[in-house]
Structure 1
Amino acid sequence: MNKFNSILIANRGEIAVRVIRTARQLGYRTVAVYSDADIDALFVHEADQAVYIGPSNVAESYLSQEKIINAAKLTGAQAIHPGYGFLSENASFSEACAKAGITFIGPDASAIELMGSKRLSKIAMIEAGVPCIKGYQGADQSIDVLVEKAKEIGFPLMVKASAGGGGRGMRLVLKEQDLIENIKTAKSEAQTAFGSSELILEQAIIEPRHIEIQVFADNFGNVVYLGERDCSIQRRHQKVVEEAPSPFVSEELRQEMGQAAVDAAKSCEYKGAGTVEFLVDKNNNFYFLEMNTRLQVEHPVTELITGLDLVHWQFLVAAGETLLLSQDQIKLTGHAVEVRLYAEDPRNNFMPQTGTVVDWHTPANENREGVRIDQGIQKGQVVSQFYDPMLAKIISFGENRDIAIRRLKSAVQDTTLLGVNNNKLFLKNILSNAIFAQGEATTAFIEQHFTDDFSMAQDKPSEKTLARAAVLFYKQHSLVNQSPYKLDWTSSAALNYALKLSFNGDVYNLHLATEQFDSGKFQVSVNEEIIEIIDVDSQLNLTQGICVFLEQNIRNKYHYAFDGQRLYLDDGLGHFIFDNVSNKPADVEHSEGGGQIKAPMDGAIVDILAEVGQVITKGQTLGILEAMKMEHQLKSMVDGVVEAINVEKGQQVKSKQILLNITVEQHAE
C-alpha cells in the first residue's frame, strides 16, 4: 500500500485545477508548481502550496524532472500527479519518482516507455493480436528507408511522430512528390516537441471514425473499460469535439473494441488510467492507433456518463487499492459532449493567440443544469506563447444526445471570453451543423463540410459589428467627457461624427449620427449602408461590460470591454479587437501583401531559410516560428529580393515584429 496525504501536481492550467478539485474533496493537501508565466495563474491560487520552478520555457520549468522532484521533497508531497502533456508520459520521470520514494500517479515506467512509442507499441499490439493498420514501424529511420517503405505502403499515407501526440509531427501525404518534404518537417517538429525524431508510416484510412476506449487497471490484474468516446471531429489531427457514447458504435462493436483495449492493457501489465485509440472504417473494421498512458483531455465525458470520478480512481490505484467496480457493474447513462476553447483565430488559419484575458464568465457560474466547465484561466491572466493555447473545456450532459448538444451549444454561446481571439463561434457553428447533429461526422468532417463556414471565412468585421463598435466608442467618450458634444472626433454637423476604427491593420471609416438630448438612437453609415441601433440602456455603466441594443426590433445583449482606445467586442459574430484611430494620421504604408515579413504572434525563431540579397518568390518559406508547441512557416507574400534580416535563429520575437524586409519586384520577367 502506498499511502499518501499530499499530492504535487506536475502540470498547469485547467488540468491542474481539475486534479486539485478532486484532491480537496478527498482530503488530500495539494502542491502546485509554477513558472514565471504562471506566477498569478488560477491553479497556483487554488493549491494549498505552490513552488516556483523557473523560467517560462518548459525545458527549464515544467519539463525539469529535478526541479519538480525537489519541489515535492521541499513540501513533503508524497505523490505526484502528472496531468497530461509535459512529463505525464515520460518513463524516466516515473522512474525518478520511484527512486525518490515518491508515488507516481500513473502506470509503471515500462508501460509508459512501450506505449509512448507508436513504433514499439504497434509491434507489441501486433504480437497481442490487436488489429493494426498496414505500415512501417522499423528501427531504421533514414530518409532513404522511410521513402522506400512509404512507396511500398502506397498513398495516401500518414507520417507520424513515434513519440507524443496532439497532431504534432503528423502529416497526411497524398502524393509521392510531397513525401520527402513532409518527412523532414515531421522529423523536425517531433524533435522539437518530443525530443525524438523517430517516425512511423501508416496507410491512411480515409474518412474513418476516431473512437477511443477508456481503460482502468489496478495492481491485482483487474482491467475494465469504461465505454468509448467519439473524437472524430478534428482539425490538424487535434480533437475539437468529443462525445460519449459514440452515435456510431453499436453494443456489439463496443464490446469488441472494449475487449481489444483490455487485451492491449494486459499485454503491457498496465496500471491506472489509460486510453486505447482506434480508427474505425465504414465497415466497422477497427485498427489500433495508439495508447495514451495518462488521463485524457476529454475524460469528463466518460465521467458524466458513468458517474465516476476518474481522478479519484487514479488516486485509489496509485495507493494500492483495487478497482471500485467490475466490468458488469459499469453502466453507461445518458450522453455527454465536450468542446475545447482555444486562444486561436479561426479567421487567420487558427493562428494561436496571446494577450490578456480582460473578461471571463461561464454558465457554470450560474449553476446551469447539465453544464460543466473545466477551466484554467481567470480575468486579468496573460495568455503567453509558451504553452498550449487551450484555455478551458465546456462540457454538457443530457438524458439523450439531442439534449446534451442543445445544452452545450447554449453554454458555448453564453461563455464570455474577451481579450484574446478564440474559437468560440467556430465551436458553436460545429454544434449547429446538421451532419454533426445526425451523428455522421468522420475525421474528414471539417474538410468536407465545414471549410467555408462563416467563423473561418470572415476575415473582416461585418457592417453590423462595425456599427456596434462605433456606438460603444461614442458611449465611452460620452461618459469620459460628460457630454457627447465634447468628443474629439471630427464633426461635420452638430450631432454627426466621423470615426476611424482599425481592425487587423485595416482602417474603416464610419459616420455616426444621433439625436439631440442623447435619446439613445443612432444611425451608423458603414460602406454606404445605414445601420440603425437603439441603445436600450443608454445610462449603463461601461464597467459592467454588457450593452443592450435594439436592432430591427430585436433586442440583444453584447459583451465588450475597453482598454483606453481599444475595444474588445463579442457580438455573436466572433471576437473583435478594434482600435480608435480617429485622431491619428493615415498610415501611408499598407503592409498587406507588402515587402515585410512580420511575426504572426509571440514566439521563437526556429530557423531562417533565406539570406540577404537572395531572390525569392511569392509563397516561398523564409523562416520557421515556434509558438504554443507548433511550428509556423513564414512565407513571402511577394516576389522580390531579401533586403534585410532583422532576427536570428533562437531569438524570441513579439507579435507584429518585422522579421525580414523584402524589396518587391515591380515587373516580373
Structure 2
Amino acid sequence: MSAIVRTVLRRRGCYRRPISAGLLSRRGYATKDRKTFDKILIANRGEIACRVMKTCKEMGIKSVAIYSDADAQALHVRMADEAVRVGPATATESYLNMPAILEAVETTGAQAVHPGYGFFSENSVFFDELEHRGVTFIGPATHALSVMGDKLESKRTAMEAQVNTVPGFDGIVKDADEAIKLANEIGYPVMLKASAGGGGKGMRISWNDEETRQGFHLATEEAKSAVKDDRLLIEKFVDKSRHIEIQVLGDKHGNAIHLNERECSIQRRNQKVVEEAPSTFIDPGTRSAMGAQAVALAKAVDYSSAGTVEFLVDSSKNFYFLEMNTRLQVEHPITELTTGVDIVEQMIYSAAGHPLSLTQDDIGVNGWAIEARVYAEDPVRFLPSIGYLSTYIEPTERPGLENVRVDTGIVEGSTISMYYDPMISKLCTYGETRDEALATMAKALDNYCIRGVNHNIPILRDIITQPSFIKGDITTNFINDVYPDGFQGRTLNSEETDELIAAAAFMHVRREELARQFLNQDRQSEDIDITPESWDLVVTLNKERYPVTTSWEMDGGFTVEMDNGRRMELSTDWSVGEPMMLANINGKDVTVQYESRRGRRLYLRHYGDKHSVVVQSTRSAELAGHVLDKSAESQLNILRAPMPGVVKSILCVAGESVAEGANIVTLEAMKMQNPLFAPMSGIVKEVFVREGDSIGEDEVILEFYPQEQESKAQQKQ
C-alpha cells in the first residue's frame, strides 16, 4: 500500500487508530503473544470490511478482501493486503456467491474468514464448507448459527433457557390467509418477520387484516431476495416498546459474559437510525437481569463469539426476547466506546481457541456513546440515493471534534451504488455524560460535508435535538410519533435564522469584494483598499425578506445590522468556494456549509438542513419584486420511480381504474420491497415498464388520465 493511500485512509477515518476515549484500547484485556492467524479473508464489503481490517492490521494479521465488479476500486479493496474478484455487481452473483468465495479462500491461503454482518455471517452451510476445508469461521459454531439464526428455533430455545419471550405462533406461517387467522387469534398489532431475516429485511407490522395480507407478500419477497429464505413467523407486536439489546461474548471453553446494553429504539421501517449506550431507561437491576438472561441463552447453545440478544422492553421494564443475532452488529462501536473492548479482536481470539481474557467484573459502564447511521437517502421521503461523492469531508478533520469515530467504506470520489445498502458511515461520538456525547454529535453532524448524493443528516440532526429524545422519552414508534406526516425539514428558530442570514450576507460580500479586486487588478495597486465600508443588502429566506446593513470592524470582524435592531457579530477566515464556513457568531461557534451558488441564490446547509438564500443589493431586491415567478407544470398524472431499482410487480393494466393511494407497483431497491402508490384517482393511460425491468430514478412508470378525464378515456376505449 502506497504512502499516499495510507495518508488518504488516515484522513478519511478508515486507517487511523481510534480516539482516546477508550475505544479499542484493550485496557489490558488482550495479550499480543497469543497466536491467532496469519491471514484472514473478510467475506464482506464496505465499512464493516474496513472495520475488521483495522483490527487485523493492529494484530499483525494480513487481510484479504473480496469484491464485485462494482467495488473494484472500493476502499476495502485498497485497504487489504490482497483482493480477489468474486463476481458481477449484484450481491447474489458476488458477495453471496459461495463457490467463488470458497475458491478465494483456497487461492489466497487464508486460515480464517470473518463474515462481518449480512451476507454469509449467519449461514451454517458456509460454516460447514469452511470447516470441511480446515478454515476457521470467525463466529459461533454451526449449532448456534442454525438454532439462533432461525427466529423460530431461537424462540423455542430461549423458552427452554427460561428467557422471557413475546407471545406468538410457534410455527411457520403457510400463507396470507393463515397469517390473517393467526393475527386475529394473537390480537392486533402483530409483527410478521422472516425466520432467517435480519436488519429489518422481511419484517412488517400490521394493524388489520388488509395490512397483514399485504405485509405477508412484501415480507416474503424481501426475505427471499435478502436471504433466499421466505419462511415467516408471526408474533404479538409490543406497542410503545423500547428495543434494547445486550452484547455478549463467548469462547470455546464454556465462558460467556455480556457487555451491557444498547438502546436501539429510534427506528424507521424496523431499521435502526440512532443508537446509544447505555440506555437512559435501564437501571442497574434491569441491566443485570437482562444480561443474565442473555448469557444464559448464549451458554444454552455453546456460543463462542460475539453476538447480540435483542429484547423488547415495555414501559414497566418488562423485557421479552426478540431474537439473537449470531454475528457482529452494525452498532457495536458504541459498546466499544463505553467498555474499551475491541469486539472484533475478541472474536478473533475466541475463533483461534483462546479463552476470554475478560470476566464480568471487568465490564463497567464508562461514559456515554451515540451512533448515527448516515445513509445516502432522501431524508424527507426516506428513499435511497445513488451517485458520485464529489465532496466528502468527515467531521474528524475539523477542530474540536476529537471524541468522534467514523466507520466508513468510502472516500471522496467513491460511488454509492444501487446494488448494495446505501450506508455512507456510522458516525459515533463519546462523552463522559450523555449531554456531552449529544453536543459532540450535533457538532459532528454540522461538520459532516457530503456532496453528490442526498443524505439523511437533516433528520439525524433533528432527532437528537427533539425534546423527547433529549429526555430519553422514546419508543420504537418515535419517528412516527414525532413526524406523523413525515420529516419536512427543520424549522429554524429566530437565533438560527439570524445566524444563517449573517453567514449568507458575509459570503455575498466576500465574493463581491473578490470580484472587484479581480476587475481592478490591472488598474490599481494591490495596496489600495477598494472595499466599501458597508453594504446595504436584502437577504431572502423562506420567502421572507430581511433588510440588513453589513460593515467591517477595525479588528477585522464583520457586523450585520438588521432592520429590527438585532446585531450579529461574525468572525471567520472562510474563503470563497470553501465547502464549510466555521465562524464565531455572537460568541457562538457555528458551522454553515456552502453547497453552491446560482446567480444571487446561495444553497447553504445549516443545522443539517439545506436552505435556498437570495442575497441582493437593496436596489436589485426592489426590481426583483416586479418579476413574476413561473409556476412549475403539474405532473400529478405521472408516476415516476423515486429511486433506481428493479420492478418486482405491476398491479394494474392500461385502462384500469385506480384509486388515489392504491398500491400499483412494487419496486425493489437496496434489498427492500418498496410499494408505490397511485398519486391520484383515475384511469391508467399507459404502462411504460415491465416486471423485471431495471429502471433509474425519475424514470416514468405509469401515466394516468385525471379523474375528470376518466369518462372520456373510457369512451375512447
Q: Establish whether TM, by shorter chain, passes 0.5.
A: yes
- The superposition leaves residues 147-198 of structure 1 with CA deviations (integer Å, 9 ceiling, x where unpaired) of 2222111112111121212222222222234322222222222222221221
1:268: Cα distance to partner? 1.4
Aligned to 1:59: 92
Question: For the residues of structure 2 that align with 1:649 and 1:429, how far apart are their CA atoms?
Answer: 38
> Pairwise mapping of residues 236-275 of structure 1 onto structure 2 (< 5 A)?
236-275=269-308
Question: For the residues of structure 1 that align with 2:708 and 2:317, how far apart are their CA atoms?
Answer: 57
1:233: Cα distance to partner? 1.7
SS in 2 for 1:604: strand
> Pairwise mapping of residues 502-541 of structure 1 onto structure 2 (< 5 A)?
522-524=537-539, 527=543, 529-530=545-546, 532=548
Q: Does 1:291 align with 2:324?
A: yes
* C-alpha contact 2:503 2:592 (8 A) present in aligned 1: no
Aligned to 1:353: 385
1:550: Cα distance to partner? 10
Identity %: 40
Question: For the residues of structure 2 that align with 1:42 and 1:211, how far apart are their CA atoms?
Answer: 32
Question: For the residues of structure 1 that align with 2:593 and 2:466, how far apart are their CA atoms?
Answer: 25
Which among 19, 34, 47 is matched to residue 80 of structure 2? 47
Q: Does 1:319 align with 2:357?
A: no
1:370: Cα distance to partner? 2.3
SS in 2 for 1:164: strand
Which among 567, 592, 610 is matched to residue 558 of structure 1? 592
* C-alpha contact 2:173 2:232 (8 A) present in aligned 1: no
Q: Does 1:590 align with 2:590?
A: no
Q: Does 1:628 align with 2:670?
A: yes
- The superposition leaves residues 399-431 of structure 1 with CA deviations (integer Å, 9 ceiling, x where unpaired) of 222222222222222222222221212112221
Going from structure 1 to structure 2, the CA distance change for 1:251 and 1:572 (only over 3 Å counts) comes to closer
Question: For the residues of structure 1 that align with 2:519 and 2:686, how far apart are their CA atoms?
Answer: 48
1:95: Cα distance to partner? 1.4
Question: For the residues of structure 1 that align with 2:136 and 2:373, how far apart are their CA atoms?
Answer: 30
Amino acid at match of 1:650: G
Going from structure 1 to structure 2, the CA distance change for 1:542 and 1:244 (only over 3 Å counts) comes to same
Question: For the residues of structure 1 that align with 2:123 and 2:503, how far apart are their CA atoms?
Answer: 50
| Unmatched segments (≥5 aa) in structure 2 | 1-33, 521-529, 552-557, 559-570, 614-623, 712-717
Question: For the residues of structure 2 that align with 1:650 and 1:577, how far apart are their CA atoms?
Answer: 39
| Unmatched segments (≥5 aa) in structure 1 | 486-514
Going from structure 1 to structure 2, the CA distance change for 1:570 and 1:48 (only over 3 Å counts) comes to farther
Aligned to 1:280: 313
* C-alpha contact 1:467 1:524 (8 A) present in aligned 2: no
* C-alpha contact 1:224 1:327 (8 A) present in aligned 2: yes
Aligned to 1:179: 212
Amino acid at match of 2:605: D
Going from structure 1 to structure 2, the CA distance change for 1:132 and 1:416 (only over 3 Å counts) comes to same
Going from structure 1 to structure 2, the CA distance change for 1:628 and 1:471 (only over 3 Å counts) comes to farther
* C-alpha contact 2:637 2:706 (8 A) present in aligned 1: yes
Amino acid at match of 2:593: H
* C-alpha contact 1:227 1:245 (8 A) present in aligned 2: yes
* C-alpha contact 1:248 1:439 (8 A) present in aligned 2: yes
* C-alpha contact 2:457 2:608 (8 A) present in aligned 1: no
1:134: Cα distance to partner? 0.8
SS in 2 for 1:232: strand
* C-alpha contact 1:29 1:48 (8 A) present in aligned 2: yes
Amino acid at match of 2:248: V
Aligned to 2:446: 413
Going from structure 1 to structure 2, the CA distance change for 1:189 and 1:135 (only over 3 Å counts) comes to same
Q: Does 1:574 align with 2:585?
A: no
TM-score by length of 2: 0.80
- The superposition leaves residues 445-492 of structure 1 with CA deviations (integer Å, 9 ceiling, x where unpaired) of 222234468654779xx999899899979998998999799xxxxxxx
* C-alpha contact 1:421 1:576 (8 A) present in aligned 2: no
Amino acid at match of 1:424: I
1:219: Cα distance to partner? 0.6
1:569: Cα distance to partner? 4.4
Aligned to 1:509: none
SS in 2 for 1:136: coil
* C-alpha contact 2:458 2:609 (8 A) present in aligned 1: yes
1:20: Cα distance to partner? 0.8
Q: Does 1:438 align with 2:471?
A: yes
* C-alpha contact 1:598 1:656 (8 A) present in aligned 2: yes
Aligned to 1:656: 698
Aligned to 2:19: none
Aligned to 1:665: 707
Aligned to 1:544: 578
* C-alpha contact 2:683 2:710 (8 A) present in aligned 1: no
* C-alpha contact 1:533 1:550 (8 A) present in aligned 2: no
Question: For the residues of structure 2 that align with 1:271 and 1:556, how far apart are their CA atoms?
Answer: 47
SS in 2 for 1:231: strand
1:638: Cα distance to partner? 2.1
* C-alpha contact 2:458 2:607 (8 A) present in aligned 1: yes
* C-alpha contact 2:172 2:233 (8 A) present in aligned 1: no
1:135: Cα distance to partner? 0.3
Question: For the residues of structure 2 that align with 1:205 and 1:611, how far apart are their CA atoms?
Answer: 39
1:53: Cα distance to partner? 2.0
Which among 98, 105, 125 is matched to residue 72 of structure 1? 105
SS in 1 for 2:341: coil
Aligned to 1:210: 243
Going from structure 1 to structure 2, the CA distance change for 1:636 and 1:144 (only over 3 Å counts) comes to closer
* C-alpha contact 1:476 1:542 (8 A) present in aligned 2: yes
Question: For the residues of structure 2 that align with 1:62 and 1:434, how far apart are their CA atoms?
Answer: 42
SS in 2 for 1:44: helix
1:145: Cα distance to partner? 2.7
RMSD (Å), alpha carbons: 3.6
Aligned to 1:615: 657
* C-alpha contact 1:359 1:561 (8 A) present in aligned 2: no
- The superposition leaves residues 590-635 of structure 1 with CA deviations (integer Å, 9 ceiling, x where unpaired) of 244x222111111111112222222222222221111112122222
Question: For the residues of structure 2 that align with 1:62 and 1:607, how far apart are their CA atoms?
Answer: 25
Q: Does 1:308 align with 2:351?
A: no
Question: For the residues of structure 2 that align with 1:528 and 1:340, how far apart are their CA atoms?
Answer: 34
Amino acid at match of 2:69: D
Amino acid at match of 2:41: L
1:523: Cα distance to partner? 2.9
Going from structure 1 to structure 2, the CA distance change for 1:57 and 1:575 (only over 3 Å counts) comes to farther
1:333: Cα distance to partner? 1.7
Which among 634, 640, 646 is matched to residue 604 of structure 1? 646
1:308: Cα distance to partner? 0.7
Amino acid at match of 1:570: R
Aligned to 1:394: 427
Question: For the residues of structure 1 that align with 2:44 and 2:597, how far apart are their CA atoms?
Answer: 32
- The superposition leaves residues 245-298 of structure 1 with CA deviations (integer Å, 9 ceiling, x where unpaired) of 222112211111111111111121211011001111122211110000001111
Report which stretch shifted further, 435-444 or 210-219.
Answer: 435-444
Question: For the residues of structure 2 that align with 1:292 and 1:75, how far apart are their CA atoms?
Answer: 29
* C-alpha contact 1:2 1:320 (8 A) present in aligned 2: no
* C-alpha contact 2:42 2:65 (8 A) present in aligned 1: yes
Going from structure 1 to structure 2, the CA distance change for 1:573 and 1:314 (only over 3 Å counts) comes to closer
Amino acid at match of 1:415: Y
Amino acid at match of 2:678: S
Question: For the residues of structure 2 that align with 1:319 and 1:648, how far apart are their CA atoms?
Answer: 51
- The superposition leaves residues 346-372 of structure 1 with CA deviations (integer Å, 9 ceiling, x where unpaired) of 222x11111221222223234733221
Aligned to 1:337: 370
Amino acid at match of 2:684: V
* C-alpha contact 1:55 1:61 (8 A) present in aligned 2: yes
Amino acid at match of 1:618: E
